[in-house]
Chain A
Amino acid sequence: MEFRYISHWSKGGGENLRVARDKEGYLLVQVEYRLGCYQKQDWAVLDTGFSGIFCLPSNMLNMLRAKVGGPDGEELVELANGSRVGVPYYIGSVKVAGADQETFGHIYLLGDKPIVGLKALQGLIIMVTAEPKIFPLMQLLTLEMLLKTLDP
């Protein structure tokens, strides 16, 4: 039930993308996804370890079956621990809110929260402009790195 923190990331080109951090520490980005005629806006975990475009929670299967029919197919997916599992997918597209590009690909049903992957972020330059109270560690690291470069 808990999502508490918000920050803003900016995209190359100046438009602001809304990014939030949930209580579990994940960074969430607002996305719009489409599966056939079904279109929805949601918040997804930004996962740079995911090479695809988008993942929806597996428990959405029955709802999606009612809206757009069964999945389009199934394929092997490699998980972070190196194992491979069969995962159903829909053909669809995803767009990071605030960006213009819409990326088409397989939208997998896996896990318990929406995940947006690297392929959907291609071509976007994302810079963190967080305030110190939100990412204190990141700020400190950046400062330390800056001092190192200045030190002869």
Chain B
Amino acid sequence: MSNLCSLPTLQKIVGIEWIKWAQSLMDEFALQQLDMGLEALVGKIGMNSVKKAYRKRLLKEIMQAPPYTVKAVGITGEDLEIPESPKLEQFFFEVLCLAKLAELSDEVELLSPGKQPQPEAKVKIEGYDCLVEVKFFMDPMMHEEFASRPITDPRLSGQSAKSEQLPPYVHLRDKLSEAWRKFENARNTINLIFVCYFSLPEVGVTFIPALYGEKFLRAPFVPWEFVIPSESELGEGGLFAENNWRFVSGIAAVWAQRYPPIPPWQEIRWSGMLFDNPKASTPIPREISMKLSKGLNILPLKILHELLPSKFTREEMEELYDRYVRSLEQKFWGKLVAVSRKGEILLGDDDEVELTRKAIERFGKWNFVIFRIGPKAVVRI
């Protein structure tokens, strides 16, 4: 049993009995993170506002959470039984996500649920008013017992099926389909949905087809090669193609990973990807994308070209190879070669670092491409 004094904010909000009960349902690290998240919110908006927003929910969530443990092997090989509650984790993620956003924001207001559906919080980032809704997406294939539910598969003329039997993007779309309602009355704000993405498949087979349409499904997904579709290019099945979704400025897929990957954990590492809605009535301003990118380690797909300004397209690289390198195949098969935009050639042996340094010196950064003569690609991944 841990030291109760290590959770001072939780103690002030819900009391020691709650903490004792929570310790049988969640591991110590998760509770400490929750405490730190709440403390950050208290620092920003005061204890009374945090209590008002979360006290009732903390009490309710813990009453409803089923006890559940995960078997694990500890760092010295000992057997561990770690309490875990996916339902509580969802709630914890919401708090941690809002606490993290609060760090990036000038102002924060936690919104209480009223008669009309409304998002979790209102924040001011870089001078813009933003409304924030937080969702949690758990892969039904990983947690069938918690996440399985009948959902409608649009591909089979509206037939209902178990979610784990459908492709990941169908159940992600189902999970998010009504989220726009929270922003129905918010026309002049930047409206963002943060989704904690806890799933095996990568975004190319989940978020991309769920938001932009099945025709954009990419596996594997390479962000450098993806261009956010324009309004007219959106696929029919994508949520962003629907008119109601114009209220939503964009969706951020967020990973919150415990680090290191084995207990005892020390920190939560944040990362993710930001998907802009091409049809949004209020698009996400560049300043907000950059702020989220730096603060939460989120890759903003729409402004990637700004981060990599002189990028070659794959077609340009293939063309450089065909024009200037193919003729060298017979004599230098397997060697590395750097080719500048103008077609100048620098031949190397097998040392990619030395060749890159020489090429940067001679052609300048980002003005050349390195190939392996023959296979074209330097490595296989």
Contact = CB atoms under 8 A, between A and B. Distances in A.
A16 to B, nearest CB: 12
B3 to A, nearest CB: 23
A85 to B, nearest CB: 5
Contact of B381 (A5, A23, A70, A110): A110
B353 A74 contact: no
A2 B225 CA distance: 29
A104 B75 CA distance: 30
Given A50-B379, A78-B380, A58 B262 contact: no
Contacts of B352: 105-106
B201 to A, nearest CB: 10
Contact of A76 (B220, B300, B314): B314
Given A58-B299, A75-B369, A81 B258 contact: no
B5 interface: no
Given A49-B380, A104-B353, A111 B225 contact: no
Interface string A72-116: 111111111100111110010000000000001110101110010
B252 to A, nearest CB: 11
Interface string B351-381: 0110011011000011011110001111111
A28 B272 CA distance: 20
16 contacts: A1-B89, A3-B261, A20-B262, A23-B142, A60-B297, A62-B299, A62-B300, A70-B308, A71-B308, A72-B356, A73-B366, A75-B371, A76-B317, A79-B380, A85-B222, A87-B224
A148 interface: no
A80 B77 CA distance: 34
B381 A55 contact: yes
Classify the interface of chain B: helix, strand, loop or mixed: mixed
A43 B261 contact: yes
B202 interface: yes
Interface of A: 1-8, 20, 22-24, 28, 30, 43, 47, 49-52, 55, 57-63, 65-66, 70-81, 84-88, 91, 104-106, 108, 110-112, 115, 117, 131, 133-134
Contact of B200 (A24, A30, A84): A24
A131 B200 CA distance: 26
A86 B311 contact: yes
B315 to A, nearest CB: 9
Of A63, A88, A112, most buried by chain B (CB within 10 Å of CB) is A112
B378 A88 contact: no
A46 to B, nearest CB: 13
A6 B307 contact: no
Given A74-B312, A86-B314, A50 B224 contact: no
A59 B24 CA distance: 35
CB-CB nearest 10 A-B residue pairs: A3-B261, A78-B377, A52-B379, A59-B299, A4-B72, A62-B293, A78-B380, A85-B222, A76-B377, A6-B262
B72 A74 contact: no
B273 interface: yes
B294 A110 contact: no
